[in-house]
Structure 1
């Protein structure tokens, strides 16, 4: 049994371990980055400490979402910044663990700087897009689709714009900096994932995928075609097969990278001298499922 994370309140219990049942862009990226990290997050459901960067991203996203509640002429930078305190209060109510971020900041100086950075990110958005000219069809849209293989894909799209001609644009806000050109394909993976889900749900290929990087003031766009989405689907099917095999065998291997330094699970990772918690799901030897199917015969 995994040791309790000391940052987790005593009255909060983790959900029971369960086999993966769907795939999101974040979890697909986790598995590609490190299968053991995927296991810790999806199967063991080990708690993780909130980070200032991720929490700030959540706050900025909520402000940009709420701004569109106002009439177009009132969607100004001052109004957007005025939403930050209320959205921060709301975030602390819905996710009390984020209060841990500033537990050692009794004077509130670090939190003030953190909120100031959120303000600057919101202000920068107005140099990249004009919300008075936008009327999103959807905001924070939960999407879910099942492929012919049975694989369930799901995620949340920041914004969907639909032109009068019916063309669809999928928009995602990033509070970090734009990646270097050689890493752009990895950044677009999430957007192509969403485009695939929309295509499977609506039979419409989105006209444009748009990543808005508030940290650096860049906008990355990509116009997908059917062949792109078919490639993404094949990649996800192969990924899901690898996840299924690891789930059945319990063979989740760490994949060391520079990102390991940011991982919350070093204490239970073999790469850092730790021991993972006992695997909480039944384990079958590789090939056992195929042998069993052979004994049973076809349906």
Structure 2
């Protein structure tokens, strides 16, 4: 198995055959100023999914960086993910449903201070009753988690793990894994929390695309094909598990390379075309979409630094 050169943490400055930008540094005209690196363009599961769904949506999010108002469900998903991350930081014996509930409100207090704009999800941000009702819905998701597994029996290698690798083709892959379990025998399990309900066929394919993305990155980083990809759906207490194999991941790697090449071709010209579908109803940018009579802003050119980063809201669900 031929591995590409890999990186973890910040990206390398190695030039590749693709038209990605290399790391650059800002210089002071007066004196020697500290060098500030910017990361090369990369592909993440969310941004790859955006381009597959609608190239124009990819442009709006990754190139134009248009703001989007999150939904209550998105912010709740981010909150639940953060609580579960903190839960696994506790000693194994302390990872109880009661401990998770005790973490909920302090965690929300911290998150809302860091992103005060998230309070806009509430009709009346100062309404203690509305916020309390929303926190109760998050508490139910945490309770559902404990019906799926007992965290006291688990010893994850990492939670909210940042992973990054460069393929032989030069494509840089980047993402965050909710939880990585590694058995004493070396077998790897990738676990992802979903705060919605188990999806139908289209949604399942989208979720598994994300998991195969992580599997490819781990395969290239560690030389091991994950033994299991596991999705935990907290809204209805369902679990979905899948076992990939090496030939499948090799094919999926080629798919990711093809998506990135298509993104680069669109990036050269700004030709990110809309792809109308039933999912348009959830899009925040219909007023700028030609399919709905709108006009996109002038194309700003391929972005620097990279458009591959996922936000906390992207990783929530």
The structure with higher relative contact order (CA 8 Å, sep 6+) is: 2
Quote how far apart the aligned CAs of 1:107 are.
Answer: 2.5
How far 1:19 moved relative to its partner? 11
Cα distance in 2, alignment partners of residues 106 and 80 from structure 1? 25
SS for the counterpart of 1:228 is: helix
CA-atom RMSD in angstroms: 1.6
Q: Are 1:139 and 2:159 an aligned pair?
A: yes
Contact 2:124 2:130 (C-alpha < 8 Å) held by counterparts: no
Q: How does 1:73-222 map to 2 (within 5 A)?
A: 73-102=93-122, 104-181=124-201, 183-222=203-242
Residue in 2 that maps onto 1:226: 246
* Aligned partner of residue 70 in structure 2, secondary structure: coil
Give the structure 2 partner of residue 250 of structure 1. Answer: 270
When Rg is computed on C-alpha atoms for both structures, the one with the higher figure is: 1
Compute the displacement of 1:104 (Å).
2.5
Match of 1:277 in 2: 297
SS in 1 for 2:65: coil
Structure 2 counterpart of 1:264: 284
Q: 1:182 to 1:37 in 2, by over 3 A?
A: closer
Is structure 2 residue 52 aligned with structure 1 residue 32?
yes
Q: What is the DSSP-based 3-state SS (H/G/I as helix, E as strand, rest coil) of the residue aligned with 1:83?
A: helix
The 3 A distance-change label for structure 1 pair 181 and 266 is closer
Aligned length: 265
Task: Report the TM-score when normalising by structure 2.
Answer: 0.81
User: In 1, Cα distance between the equivalents of 2:203 and 2:135?
Assistant: 29
Per-residue deviation, residues 194-221 of structure 1 (Å, max 9, x unmatched): 0100011111111111000001111100
Q: Which runs of no fewer than 5 residues in structure 2 stay unpaired?
A: 1-37, 303-317
Q: CA deviation at 1:249?
A: 1.6
Specify every segment of 5 or more residues in structure 1 that has no aligned partner in the other structure, as ranges.
Answer: 1-17, 283-299
Runs of 4+ residues over 4 Å off in structure 1: none
Structure 1's 158 and 49: CA in aligned 2 closer, same or farther, altered over 3 A?
A: same
Determine if the alignment matches structure 1 residue 52 to structure 2 residue 66: no
Structure 2 CA distance for aligned equivalents of residues 155 and 89 of structure 1: 26
Deviation at 1:103, TM superposition (A): 5.3
Quick one: distance in 2 between partners of 1:245 and 1:141? 31
Distance, in Å, in 2 between the alignment partners of 1:255 and 1:75 is 45
Match of 1:65 in 2: 85
Question: Following TM superposition, by how much is the alpha carbon of 1:262 offset from its aligned partner in structure 2, in angstroms?
Answer: 1.4
TM-score with structure 1 length normalisation? 0.85
